[in-house]
Structure 1
Amino acid sequence: MSTLKLTRCDGTALIERHVLGMAEMGYHGISEQWLKRRAGDLHWRLIARAMGQRDAVFTCSEGEPLYAAFCATSLQLKRPHLPRLGGEMTLAADLFRVGHGRLASLLRITVGCDIVGGMILVSTFVGRSEPGSNRSVVRRSPRALAMPPEAPLAVRRFAEKASATAQDIRDDRLKLSGMSGTQKVLPCPATEFNAAGLLYFPSYSALADRALFQAGERQTNMVASRYVVYLGNVEPGEWLDINFRKLPSGHDVLLHGPDSRPLALMRVRFDRAS
């Protein structure tokens, strides 16, 4: 067993201010893809700072590459109509611990003095047991462990619920009734995989939305919330099977890879006022 260096951080938030242009805005309001990419980058930078590193590049004690992979994310947009083209948005993120081997960031989203919403992102460190194989991704410990403050109760509850849901799916204890026919989607490496060669976490939501649109779900309201539990990854060139269940204010969506491997479960809700 290797001895890991413990590094404490001061808990100070990382803050970004953005002028909202075409890159930041989407078809209806703020771009969820852009927002998740920024939130993920803040999360990784917070971990690097907590470990005393300048760059968000992580390795295990043997020097092999590690990645801070997301276990679950929760996006809540209480006032999705506030972000406007040409306006300004502030993102402020803090890092916390949520149990052995997991870290969580809490992101606050504001426009001017108004709170738009927030995100919770929970991650753990993973590496590949076989070079180049996304199916061989397993949990591993980094060279240095970050020791930020304990997470607030709401963040801990979210992390615990997500962990329990993931275990129920893996153990085939979670039975989802009312799921409709399967839509097949093929992720494109040039746009939906990241620099680590893994299917990027915002891409799960984008692929689910694409499948819903293919199935005839012409949703025009803004996203009010999206809760995602991540369960696995795929290789470039592998197809995804996406099932969904329509609900009064949104959808439940289940993503599978080849051999019916569960990849993600998500619940998306739309803003009725928009």
Structure 2
Amino acid sequence: MNLPVDPGIRLRQDYLAGMPHLAYVGLSENWLLKECGHLHWLLLARLQGLDVPVFSDREGRSAYAAFTAIHLRRLQLERIGENTRFELHSHLQPAGRARHCSEHLLLAAGLPCGELTMLSTFVCRTRAGDNRSATRAQFAIDEGTPAEPCQAARALLEAGKHWREAEPVEQVWEQRFSPCPALDFNGAEFLYFAQFQATVERAEWALARSNLLLHCRERQLYFYGNLNPGDDLLLRLAPPVNVDGMQRCEIRRASDGRKLAEVLTRRALQVPA
């Protein structure tokens, strides 16, 4: 029997949970996002046969894999505490011109604790030092036939388009946040994708501190742009919904009002110890 050829590449990583990995009630979702983003980046290099993940477009400009959509689901991060051994099983494959999709399975004691799907596209700046000028990178390989996106990638593409065109949040709670270059921007000098999740958590804590008693079970993040150091974010949260529903947060750039991201969060009540 002829089995289909896997167009992607796989990786397994093992961990022992310590303080860098943990948050107040289990594995840190923010750490998980950063680690899976790092694995996505490393797998991109391996897929291209590179020793290190250094990419440039056909004009020689530095190109970076910017996440356009992320879906975390079936999260049970509270299962991972101090000194828990856990694993990440990752798979990355092409998903169209300059796009790649990775899927990550989180396991602890052999049991699933979460799944992540991450969709990226390569971008470069058309004006040096200006994150607002980031646009999709063009590569010589783009002239060939692009890879067909997998089902997971297609779902994220469709959802990202839907939320880009969605009506603005109404009846809002609004929070303004000033990203700090030393903490919130990455080595490529972009606002780090994981900090969007962090700002939503901070806004929800400021507005409804009872969320400390809730676990995040699902989160969707869709990204549409970036900003420069010194600019602020405006977070517009829809009113709270019941614990089994999704809460929407629209993130805009303060300087011009452009939508930068949509974040949807589903929480569940914490089970008492």
* TM score, norm. by length of structure 1: 0.88
Query: Where does structure 2 lack aligned partners over 5 or more consecutive residues?
Result: none
Q: 2:120 aligns to what?
A: 123
Which of 155, 158, 162 is the equivalent residue of 1:157?
155
What does residue range 1-274 of structure 1 map to in structure 2 within 5 Å? 11-142=8-139, 152-166=150-164, 168=165, 174-220=166-212, 221-245=214-238, 246-249=240-243, 250-257=246-253, 258-274=255-271
Map Cα deviations across residues 84-140 of structure 1 (whole Å, 9 max, x no partner): 211011011111233333211001111121011110100001000100001111111
Aligned partner letter, 1:219: N
CA offsets 1:153-190 (integer angstroms, 9 cap, x no match): 24422333223433x1xxxxx21454413211101111
Letter aligned with residue 158 of structure 2: E
Offset at residue 272 of structure 1 (A): 2.4
Listed as ranges, the gaps of 5+ residues in structure 1 are: 1-7, 169-173
Q: Is the contact made by 1:255 and 1:263 (CA closer than 8 Å) also made in structure 2? A: yes
Q: Residues 220-274 of structure 1, C-alpha deviation per residue, up to 9 Å, x if partnerless?
A: 2221111000011111111111110121125210111121111110101113244
Given that 1:60 and 1:142 are in contact with CA atoms closer than 8 Å, whether structure 2 keeps it comes out as yes
Q: Percent identity at matched positions?
A: 28
CA RMSD of aligned residues (A): 2.3
Secondary structure in 1 matching 2:210: coil
| 8 A Cα contact 2:223 2:260, kept in partner | yes
TM-score by length of 2: 0.88
Greater Cα offset, 67-76 or 152-161: 152-161
How many residue pairs are counted as aligned between the two chains? 261
